Amino acid sequence: MRMFFLGLIVKNLWRQKVRSLLAILGISIGIASIVALGSIANGMEQNLISALKSPKADFTIGQANTPAIVFGVIRAERLQEIKQWPEIAEAYGALVTFSTFRENPYFVVMGTNPDAFELNGVQLKEGRLYQATSEDEMLLGKVAAATQNLQIGQKTNLDGKEFTVVGIYETGNVFVDGGALVPLQTLQTLKNKLDELTLILVKLHATASVNDVVQKIESKYKNELVTLRDIGEYNRSYQGAGLVRAGTWLVSLLALIIGAIGVMNTMIMVVYERTREIGILRAVGWRRSRVLRMILGESLLLSVLAAGIGAWLGTRAVWLVTQFPQARGLISPHFTSALFVQAILIAIGVGLLAGLYPAYRATKILPQEALRYE
Amino acid sequence: MNSSFIQATNLVKTYDLGQTKAIDNVSFAINEGEFIAIQGPSGSGKSTLLNIISGLDRAESGEVCVAGFQLDNNGDLSRFRSQIVGFIFQLHNLLPSLTVLENVMIPMVELNLSKKVCVERAERLLERVQLLNKAHRLPTQLSGGERQRVAVARALANEPKLILADEPTGSLDSQTETKVLELLRKIHRERGVTLVVVTHSTDVAQKADRILCMRDGKIIEDRMNRVQSSMPE
């Protein structure tokens, strides 16, 4: 009779189609925000990590104790000092800045020289490279070139200075590809940061130990420099990722609470309206636990349906956002199965919690009193 | 230790914080297989007494034992209601969103049976009350008499030893009343179940083997009915 009982739960929800649908929509907005914001946060994290840590470099050096590595400052002389160490095969500095470029206030401009491109994973797709001494040439990322509709040879303005686009590059990272590269010294001069770097990419000689060099840097420049080798170290040093996640959860949590209140309200109404019916079920021998399971089952079914609809809505919403040119360089969603499993488990949890009180109230209905209820 | 199927001793039930005595020190015994009518005017306490016997309500004092179940403890009596009792209400109390067949199957949810077995049993019961052809209709598509026959089939769903009927013909016309009573009597005879019918009607009471007359919460008469009104078999 399990199937009959489950069928009864479905039938009960179907009886109040509009109300059930509204409750489902309420909670599915919460689930959609978890999926959408979660995938965006995942994508941001992935892109920031790959922007900071080139697979060809052994490690990256950034400023210690900064909430966001990309806003950190390293004194340029540190690069010269480290370069002298016998273990170091190559070390290049890069300055990461954000400029307002054609109405995009978060346009990433990276100051780096062509000799660092290989370690940075920069591949020239069209045109030519600039010279390290060039003062008015830039390379444009593939995504930026497409969204800004700029071609090789065209001139464009960056922070009041005119640059000519001499080539188009690709790194595979949406942040870097959504921005531009200019010679390091040119950007340092433009931004009045002559003695500053944001990152140093380091490649060691094959015989050198990464652990030893990392320890050497972190003890010599304690509280000044930090090395990043993997995602764990990145998350440890970049508290910004935690803030983005916390913000994502806060928004999702608010949406979920509103959805849960909707489900709870629906289920309280269900119990109130079906008082007599529940009384009949108890009178013909249904146990309290059976009534509890019926109401919880209805609440759970609402939430599971909401999880499915919410997950679909979330993916569609992100897709819609990525259709805007302004978002292309910033948002590259990363959907993982863990994210969907998380969303479904949260929906189930919310369904159970929201149904618990109405179900408890239903078990307290006395059959003889319910049968007098009109 | 008693051998009666239903044994009630010194039952008391009050309403309005003790102001109104619905049941006033009532004692009686019913043997297994008897057909009893509890007769009395409105407010005499007969429905309250039936609710106590069925485990839907509890007495404030006194003891009641039905088929070995002691009903005056504080435990959940749903197992008792599911296994021992079949209840027929005055207003049929069918679930409007379920079909006739599903309504009959509702009490079987608590039994550990397959859906196939339950459907077969419900269909047999509907055949018994001559409503198998309307198994997939909703209660709103049936007449009052038909609905009450579905309620009879539902009361038999878990093969109870005791059928309790609270004014089962109270909302029916006289012709339909006769049909429903005839059905109840037949079931009582065929299955050997104990049948307790609460009624204000002398005509209905006359169909029973024994009549308990109630007034002001007391049993004022307990007599065997030697002049049972004839009913077509």
Q: pLDDT tens across A123-180, in order?
A: 999 999 998 888 899 999 998 888 888 889 999 888 888 999 999 999 888 788 889 9
Rounded Cα gap, residues A295 and A298, in angstroms:
5
In B144-173, the residues whose Cβ lies within 8 Å of chain A are 154, 157-158
The count of C-alpha atoms lying within 13 angstroms of the C-alpha of B18, restricted to the half-sphere facing its C-beta, is 2
Question: Which residues partner with B85 through β-bridges?
Answer: B162
Chain A: nearest CA to B59, how far in angstroms?
13
Mean pLDDT of chain A: 87
Tell me, what's the ipTM? 0.91
191-230 in B: which are within 8 Å (CB) of A? Answer: none
Q: Which of B71, B83, B94, B109 to mutate to test the interface with A (most CBs of A within 10 A)?
A: B109
Query: pTM score, two decimals?
Result: 0.77
Q: Is B82 on the interface with A (CB under 8 A)?
A: yes
Highest-pLDDT range among A237-251, A258-272, B203-217? B203-217
Query: Looking at A44-58, A66-80, A117-131, B157-171, which range is the least confident one?
Result: A44-58
Q: How sure is the predictor about A297, in pLDDT bands with cuts at 50, 70 and 90?
A: very high
**Is pLDDT larger for residue B93 or for residue B226?**
B93
pLDDT of B191 > 80? The answer is yes
Q: Which residues pair with B198 in a beta bridge?
A: B38, B166
Residue A58's pLDDT is what? 87
pLDDT at B1: 43
Per-residue burial over A200-231, b if 16 or more Cβ lie within 10 Å, else e, is: bbbbbeeebeeeebbeebbeebeeebbbbeee
Q: Does pLDDT of B216 surpass 70?
A: yes
Cα gap A357→A361, rounded to integer Å: 6
What is the predicted pLDDT for the residue at A234?
A: 62
Q: Does B51 touch chain A (CB under 8 A)?
A: yes
> Which pLDDT belongs to residue B221?
93
Dihedral sign, CA of A362, A366, A369, A370? positive
Are A373 and A280 contacting, i.e. CB atoms less than 8 angstroms apart? no
Contacts of B89 in chain A (CB under 8 A): 283, 371
Q: Do A284 and B82 touch (CB under 8 A)?
A: yes
Q: Which of the residue ranges B37-41, B68-72, B73-77, B130-134 would you say has the lowest mean pLDDT? A: B73-77
Judge whether residue B190 has pLDDT over 80: yes
Query: Which of B47, B69, B97, B163 should one mutate to test binding to chain A, selecting the residue with the greatest count of A CBs within 10 A?
Result: B97
Q: Kindly report the nearest CA distance between residue A9 and chain B, in angstroms.
A: 12
Q: What is the mean pLDDT of residues A33-57?
A: 79
d(CA B87, CA B164): 5
- Section B21-48 average pLDDT: 93
Q: What was the pLDDT predicted at A332?
A: 79
Are B158 and A1 an interchain contact pair (Cβ–Cβ within 8 Å)?
Answer: no
The answer to whether A372 faces chain B, any CB pair under 8 Å, is no
Please tell me what DSSP assigns to residue B229: P
Q: What's the pLDDT band for A262 if we cut at 50, 70, 90?
A: confident
How confident is the model at residue B91, as a pLDDT?
84
A17 in contact with B, Cβ within 8 Å: no
CA distance A28 to chain B (A): 27
pLDDT tier for residue A116 given thresholds of 50, 70 and 90: confident
Distance CA A339, CA A45 (A): 14
Neighbours of B174 (CB within 10 A): 9
Phi first, then psi, for residue B208 (nearest 5°) are: -85, 165
**Minimal CA–CA distance to A109: which of A139, A142, A147?**
A139
Asked whether the beta carbons of residue B97 and residue A367 sit closer than 8 angstroms, the reply is no
Nearest CA distance, B77 vs chain A (angstrom): 8
Residue A253 and residue A256: Cα distance in Å, rounded?
Answer: 5
A215 or A325, higher pLDDT: A215
Minimal C-alpha gap between A258 and chain B (Å): 30
Which runs of consecutive H residues, i.e. helices, occur in B23-91?
46-54, 78-83
- CA–CA dist A339, B64 (Å, integer): 59
Dihedral Cα A274, A275, A276, A281, nearest 10 deg: 80
Q: How many CB atoms lie within 10 A of CB A179?
A: 28
CB-based contact (8 Å) between A129 and chain B? no
Count Cβ–Cβ pairs < 8 Å, chain A vs chain B.
73
Which class for A303: exposed (0-12), middle (13-18), buried (19 or more C-beta within 10 A)? Answer: buried
Tell me the C-alpha distance between A187 and A182, whole Å.
6
Q: Coil, strand or helix: which one is A129?
A: coil
Contact: B109, A290; criterion CB under 8 Å: yes
Q: Cα(A369)–Cα(A284) distance, rounded to whole angstroms?
A: 14
Give the model's pLDDT for residue B233. Answer: 44
**Which residues in chain B have Cβ-Cβ distances shorter than 8 Å to A12?**
97
- Per-residue confidence (pLDDT) for residue B227, from 0 to 100: 66
Burial group, residue B19, by CB count within 10 angstroms (0-12, 13-18, 19+): exposed
Per-residue model confidence as pLDDT tens digits over A49-69: 776 767 788 888 988 877 777
Q: Is A277 on the interface with B (CB under 8 A)?
A: yes
Contact B78 A287 (CB under 8 A): yes
One DSSP character per residue, A158-213 reads: ETTEEEEEEEEEE-S-HHHHTSEEE-HHHHHHHTT-TTEESEEEEEE-TTS-HHHH
> What are the pLDDT digits (tens) for A317-369?
999 988 887 676 667 788 989 889 988 998 999 899 999 999 999 999 988 88
Query: Which phi and psi (to 5°) does residue B94 adopt?
Result: -85, 155
Chain B nearest CA to A18, separation (Å)? 16
pLDDT of A188 above 90: yes
Average pLDDT for B155-171: 91
